[in-house]
Structure 1
Amino acid sequence: MNRRPQSAQAMVEFLIIIPVLILLIFGAAQAALIYSAKNGLNYATFQAARLGAMNHAQYSDMRRGLTRGMYPMFSQYPQQDRMQHTASEVDNFILITRISPDQASFGAFAEASDALGVDAIPNDNLMFRSTQQSPVSIQDANLLKIRVQYCMRLIVPMVEHILSSASRFNADQTVGSFSEVSKLSADYSSVCAARNGFIITSEATVRMQSAAINDADYCSTGARMRCP
């Protein structure tokens, strides 16, 4: 009996299936790396919010917290170069959005502070202050909430182009389609610059431990922070 037709059919099926199988394996590997990076970013975002809450919600201190928190994510680099690389990632591929307190809260509650020399949202005696909302209460204005968007570099071949294109489409559609969400998100090019990466996002909320100072002037200079 001639078995050549059956053998040829098996080869054709193999050639059709193997690229899909390889793509699935590579995709699973990259997904595991993204999951690990998301966990690391969650920790780093909390560290950024914690330091920001203790230091008047200033970007420089939130950046310091992010750098500390993301340091373990780059253990593949030599120890003497790891901190420099982490700082470079934070400065070039991280965008912080200060969701709360927003500009309206500063306009409603900020007052002159002799100790700080600038206007700040009071952080003392909150339980005795009015709970009137204007547009939120002063108690809610003392919640520091930040959103951190990180453009993660994709290293697995083949799937990097697919995932970076999907991330670009998702980021641009989110900003373009929903006005409220666009205040809290940024388009792909704002986060990733020239990198073909995948945007991962994390949020953290911490009660302010110091009087919040409006960092809007710093936001307007093109730094890696947005102040809706």
Structure 2
Amino acid sequence: MFLSANKNLSEISCWRFSLQICIFLPTVTPKEPKSIAREKGQALPEMIIVFPLVVILIMSILQIALIYRGKATLNNATFLAARAGSLNHGYVSSMEKTFYDRMAALGQILPAMRNGSTTEGLYDKPGRVNLLATQVAMKATHTYDPIEVIWPTQAVFNRFAVRFNELESCSGSSCPFSRYGGKFRLAQESVYQIPIENMDARDQTMQDIDGVDVDLQDANLLGIRSRYCYDMEVPVANFIIWRTLQVSQGASQDWLACQALARLFGENRFMIPLTGRSVVRMQTDFRCENNETKGVDCENL
């Protein structure tokens, strides 16, 4: 009797007679088409080409996010600086102090000034002493003028400023109303200022100044422009962004000031100028800084 059985064990075929005889048949694998075989080696070169681009893209996104954080910090510092100016007769000195106080959050100071007393100490153990030291280091690092008053202009100030005698303390017979308990008198020297009090009783006629109609309400606005040299720190991305902006801003004064500062930070430092603007209404009379009595050659105009 002839029996046949096929088992799926490496294509083993067996025939049984009185003895078992097995023949091992080799498995035949069908060949792949040539086009598929050629495509198998493409993954590696594609990854080699794409991977650096993806890394650069991620680094650029990170750097742009940091620039946005810096711009948001600048906008906040600019507004608070304008607010400080409106409360202090539009003096640039008070605005710069407030500006550096807020920009200390970025901690971008000269490497030689980074120690336990300034940024390193401020980040480890925040305190008033370290904050003040960081603010001083910020001002010493960023030597350019960070605040520029763009409104009012000198022409607006000349047209609307009036002479004003402040009150000064006095005692005894030097006070004109001492018999009634008076302790103040008019100061001997008067100052020039754009008045802010009794606005409804003052002349509100529009005045033509350099081709622009301006009234007293407009003259009592304070507009400032701020600038800050931002140090980009993400490798590769900082150079790409810096080189791109250099094409359009390379000749500007802000750009040149930032490149001069970058050289003080060391080699391969890429700084770009960030600018901000803010407009607020004056809460005190606008005066000529450091020349109040004459109203000319003002530091804030």
Q: Same fold (TM over 0.5)?
A: yes
1:47 aligned to 2:80?
A: yes
| Partner of residue 255, structure 2 | 188
1:146 deviates by 0.8
1:30 aligned to 2:63?
A: yes
CA separation of 1:38/1:187 partners in 2, compared to 1, >3 Å: closer, same or farther? closer
Which has the bigger relative contact order, CA under 8 A and spacing at least 6? 1
The partner residue of 2:217 within 124, 139, 145 is 139
Separation in structure 2 between the aligned mates of residue 130 and residue 96 of structure 1, nearest angstrom? 31
How high is the TM-score relative to the length of structure 1? 0.78
1:4 deviates by 7.4
CA separation of 1:18/1:82 partners in 2, compared to 1, >3 Å: closer, same or farther? farther
Moved more, 34-43 or 53-62: 34-43
Separation in structure 1 between the aligned mates of residue 271 and residue 73 of structure 2, nearest angstrom? 17
The partner residue of 2:229 within 145, 151, 154 is 151
Query: Which residue identity does 2:150 align to in structure 1?
Result: I
User: SS state of the match for residue 99, structure 1?
Assistant: strand
User: SS state of the match for residue 203, structure 1?
Assistant: strand
Q: Deviations over 1:170-220 (max 9, x none)?
A: 4357x6xxxxxxxxxx5411355332312222221111111112347465x
Indicate the structure (1 or 2) with the bigger Cα radius of gyration: 2
1:20 deviates by 1.3
Structure 1 contact 167–188 (Cα < 8 Å) conserved: no
| Partner of residue 208, structure 1 | 282
How high is the TM-score relative to the length of structure 2? 0.61
Query: Which residue identity does 1:89 align to in structure 2?
Result: M
Separation in structure 2 between the aligned mates of residue 217 and residue 191 of structure 1, nearest angstrom? 27
Query: Which residue identity does 1:156 align to in structure 2?
Result: V
CA separation of 1:157/1:67 partners in 2, compared to 1, >3 Å: closer, same or farther? same
CA separation of 1:47/1:77 partners in 2, compared to 1, >3 Å: closer, same or farther? farther
Query: Which residue identity does 2:286 align to in structure 1?
Result: A
Aligned length: 210
Q: Deviations over 1:119-165 (max 9, x none)?
A: 22122212332222322112111111111121111000001112223
1:43 deviates by 1.4
Query: Which residue identity does 1:205 align to in structure 2?
Result: V
| Partner of residue 12, structure 1 | 45
Query: Which residue identity does 1:206 align to in structure 2?
Result: V
Higher helix proportion, which one? 1
| Partner of residue 89, structure 1 | 138
Identity, % of aligned positions = 30
Structure 2 contact 85–91 (Cα < 8 Å) conserved: yes
CA separation of 1:82/1:157 partners in 2, compared to 1, >3 Å: closer, same or farther? farther
User: SS state of the match for residue 130, structure 1?
Assistant: coil
| Partner of residue 78, structure 1 | 121
Separation in structure 1 between the aligned mates of residue 194 and residue 200 of structure 2, nearest angstrom? 15
Gapped regions of structure 1 (runs ≥ 5)? 176-185, 220-224
Structure 1 contact 144–207 (Cα < 8 Å) conserved: yes
Q: Deviations over 1:11-43 (max 9, x none)?
A: 222222122111110011111111111221121
Separation in structure 2 between the aligned mates of residue 83 and residue 168 of structure 1, nearest angstrom? 34
Moved more, 14-23 or 90-99: 90-99
Higher strand proportion, which one? 2
Separation in structure 2 between the aligned mates of residue 172 and residue 128 of structure 1, nearest angstrom? 50
User: SS state of the match for residue 229, structure 2?
Assistant: strand
1:118 deviates by 3.3
Structure 1 contact 93–192 (Cα < 8 Å) conserved: no
Structure 2 contact 227–254 (Cα < 8 Å) conserved: no
Moved more, 58-67 or 78-87: 78-87
1:69 deviates by 2.1
